[in-house]
Amino acid sequence: MTAYFIQAFIYLVAAVIAVPLAKRFGLGSVLGYLVAGVAIGPVFGLVGQETNTIQHFAEFGVVMMLFLVGMELDPKSLWAMRVRLIGLGGLQVVITAAAGFAIALWLGLVWQTALAVGLIFALSSTAIVLQTLNEKGLAKTEGGRSAFSVLLFQDIAVIPMLALIPLLALPELMGAAGGGDDHSGFNLVAHLPGWAHALVVIAAIAAVIAGGYYLGPPLFRYVAGAGLREVFTATALMVVIGIAALMSLVNLSPALGAFLAGVVLANSEFKHELEANIEPFKGLLLGLFFITVGAGINFDVFAAEWATVIGLALGVIVIKAVVLLALALLFKIKGSNFWLFALSLAQAGEFGFVLLTYSVQNSVIPADTAQILSLVVALSMFLTPLLFIAYDRLVLPRYQSGKDERDADAIEEQAPVIVAGVGRFGQIICRLLRANNMPMVVLDLELEQIENSRRIHIKSYFGDASRADLLERAGIENARLLVVAIDDRERAVQMVRHVKHYFPNVWVLARAFDRGHGYQLREAGADDVVSETYHSALELGGHALTAMGVHPMRAKQMTWSFMQNEQAHEDELFDAWKEIEGGISFSPRYGELFMKLEESLNIAMRQEWHEPKREDVPVWTAPAEDPR
């Protein structure tokens, strides 16, 4: 027992030291875990043969991750991504496997072994890619969604791969492989004919879907009724572990089963509670998995075959990247997403270790060859965080600067209203103006937003609205109104200052991010400033009062009093803010004014109010017809 405690302590210390350092230097948590594993394994020798056993346990983190990913989707979302799931994912697996097969044949391997090698290197690392995409906020980008589609198809493709590998067995390796039947007692389909195997697999998948849909909600309601958080956590783990065990019994991917269960439970009322309970286990197990990958690198074999291992690892990355880039062109993935898609999936994956072990057990790949290939898989995974760093520091800045340097559109017309920024805030203003047939010119730096606006027939042009020449081409000299709704705080202030200096007759409306930004815009000369969250927060505050039993009309009165109170003290607060901006680190006057504001607000809230009687409430009636 003491040995287990010591080993657990070593793994945790390595993670606690390496991961924060890696994050601090912008390298990402995955690379931190990998380096921690290398340090405690090959470098210092603090862990030994137990690493392989722990790795099999830690792979359950991938199962949990796909369960959580499934919960973020629903069947409609899954159906919507069917083209990329089957088309993009299917082509990637087939083309990459064919390329790996051809190169392995060229290197002198027999065709059965070459085909297994091609299948192994067609897979990418679900754990590393999804973890890094989520960590960097790239999961919702076009490149991130496309990468997820490919990863999901790969996880599905593991099933036929596992079925195919035993058919590739080499007679000369039969005696040396051994261990092929070690787990046959825990496999329900090992000795079944093909048709029965297919029926069992279909039944298992149907059981997961039906169980999640019909049995999941009642089960969680029953457990939630006990009011014990630890029992709910145990139930969540029981569900995921049970599904993984069922999938393993029928020779399917546990990760795929967990994903299906997650999709089924995506619309459950217990979705957020399940995510909160499973997320910590997923994070710990994934971290442990990455550490074991680093610790499992066999430096003796690496030292003897370092040139081969490095050459093959780089070759895998380059070949997969070329295939992915070609597919990105075919499926019209553009811009920085083009490179994100290719670089994120250019490595081998954790399922490669599973297929390698399975291939050795089934006499398809020789043990000595499998050791080298295992190092190639591990090294390609080890290099993946560096590919993301290259994307962040080399690719992304180039596309961002390219976006800024792109020539602005030729503005074909001028209008009395100019709207700068047509994002989530500006588009509402544009729709309101258009609904009242008010002509306008819209400027934005986001091509996607421009295209969306054009689809609903709003005249929109690509360009930086803070540029003086572009504003002049848009007709700022003769404009009556400028709406500033861009996302860049500093550029918004500069634009307002420029327009009010050179075109003082233009009325300027500006969107503020917060109170301080609102004061900056007001100081720059904006005629009207509205905080993007102010009115929505007031509206929700009124609903909160109503929910707590306040009469709806009383709640409306309170929110109106709140707004009037703010407006009454706005000039005083603005003058006090200017003292702070002038260099006074703490303005006692600003604090005093805020206390005064709160006191007057309390008084306004306590004003006497009577619920109106029905006869006091005005009722709208249609006007009488003109007798003439």
H/E run at residue 530: strand 528-531
Could you give phi then psi for residue 254, rounded to 5 degrees? -60, -35
The fold of the 2-399 domain, in CATH, is Na+/H+ antiporter like fold (1.20.1530)
Q: What mean pLDDT is reported for the chain?
A: 80
pLDDT digits (tens, 9 = 90+) for 477-532: 888 999 988 877 888 888 888 888 888 899 999 888 877 788 888 888 888 888 88
CA atoms within 13 A on the CB side of 603: 8
Q: What is the residue whose two structure tokens read 């709160």?
A: 598
pLDDT value of residue 614: 46
CA atoms within 13 A on the CB side of 584: 12
H/E run at residue 482: strand 481-484
pLDDT digits (tens, 9 = 90+) for 364-376: 999 889 889 988 9
Judged by DSSP in three states, 420 sits in strand
Burial 551-562 (b: 16+ CB within 10 A, else e): eeebbebbbebb
pLDDT digits (tens, 9 = 90+) for 211-257: 888 888 888 888 888 878 888 889 888 988 898 888 888 877 787 78
Q: What are the C-alpha distances in Å from 79 to residues 73, 82, 86, 616? A: 10, 5, 11, 55
The residues spanned by each domain of the chain are: 2-399, 412-532
Give the pLDDT band (50/70/90) at residue 74.
low
Q: What is the mean pLDDT of residues 305-318?
A: 93
pLDDT digits (tens, 9 = 90+) for 131-141: 888 878 787 78
For every residue of 151-213, DSSP letters joined together read HHHHHHHHHHHHHHGGGG--GGGHHHH--TTTTGGG-TTTT--HHHHHHHHHHHHHHHHHIII
- Is residue 169's pLDDT more than 70? yes
Q: What is the residue whose two structure tokens read 């009383």?
A: 554
Q: What is the mean pLDDT of residues 34-54?
A: 79
- Is residue 416's pLDDT more than 80? yes
pLDDT value of residue 621: 44
Q: Are 372 and 305 in contact (CB under 8 A)?
A: yes
Could you give phi then psi for residue 512, rounded to 5 degrees? -105, 145
pLDDT digits (tens, 9 = 90+) for 321-339: 999 999 999 988 888 889 9
Judged by DSSP in three states, 509 sits in strand
pLDDT value of residue 68: 80
How many CB atoms lie under 10 A from the CB of residue 355? Answer: 26
Give the residue from 174, 376, 382 showing the smallest Cα distance to 294. Answer: 382
Judged by DSSP in three states, 412 sits in coil
Give the residue from 420, 544, 571 showing the smallest Cα distance to 487. Answer: 420
* 117 against 33, higher pLDDT: 117
pLDDT value of residue 406: 52
Q: Are 417 and 479 in contact (CB under 8 A)?
A: yes
Please report, as a single letter, which amino acid is at residue 594: F
- Is residue 404's pLDDT more than 70? no
Give the pLDDT band (50/70/90) at residue 110.
very high
Residue 324 CB contacts under 8 Å (≥ 6 apart), including other chains? 92, 341, 342, 345, 346
- Is residue 95's pLDDT more than 50? yes
- Is residue 352's pLDDT more than 70? yes
Could you give phi then psi for residue 73, rounded to 5 degrees? -110, 180
Regarding pTM above 0.85, the answer is no
- Is residue 452's pLDDT more than 80? no
Burial 511-535 (b: 16+ CB within 10 A, else e): bbeeeebbbbbbebbbeebbebebe
Question: Distance (Å, rounded) from C-alpha 206 to C-alpha 210?
Answer: 6
Q: Assess if CATH 3.40.190.10 describes domain 412-532.
A: no
pLDDT digits (tens, 9 = 90+) for 552-602: 888 888 888 788 777 777 777 677 666 655 444 445 555 666 666 667 667
The top-scoring range by mean pLDDT among 118-127, 160-169, 179-188, 619-628 is 118-127
Q: Which structure tokens are listed for 566?
A: 């703010």
- Computed on alpha carbons and rounded to an integer, the radius of gyration of the chain in Å comes to 31
Burial 265-287 (b: 16+ CB within 10 A, else e): bbebebeebbbebbeebbeebbb
* 14 against 400, higher pLDDT: 14
> Angle CA(506)–CA(508)–CA(510) in degrees, nearest 5?
165
Q: Are 513 and 489 in contact (CB under 8 A)?
A: yes
pLDDT value of residue 580: 58
Q: Are 383 and 295 in contact (CB under 8 A)?
A: no
Name 484's bridge partners.
Answer: 420, 510
The count of residues in the chain is 628
- Is residue 104's pLDDT more than 90? yes
For every residue of 536-579, DSSP letters joined together read HHHHHHHHHHHHTT--HHHHHHHHHHHHHHHHHTHHHHHHHHHH
Q: What is the mean pLDDT of residues 380-397?
A: 87
pLDDT value of residue 121: 94
Question: Distance (Å, rounded) from C-alpha 519 to C-alpha 516?
Answer: 5
DSSP structural state of residue 70: H
Q: Are 359 and 331 in contact (CB under 8 A)?
A: no
pLDDT value of residue 589: 57
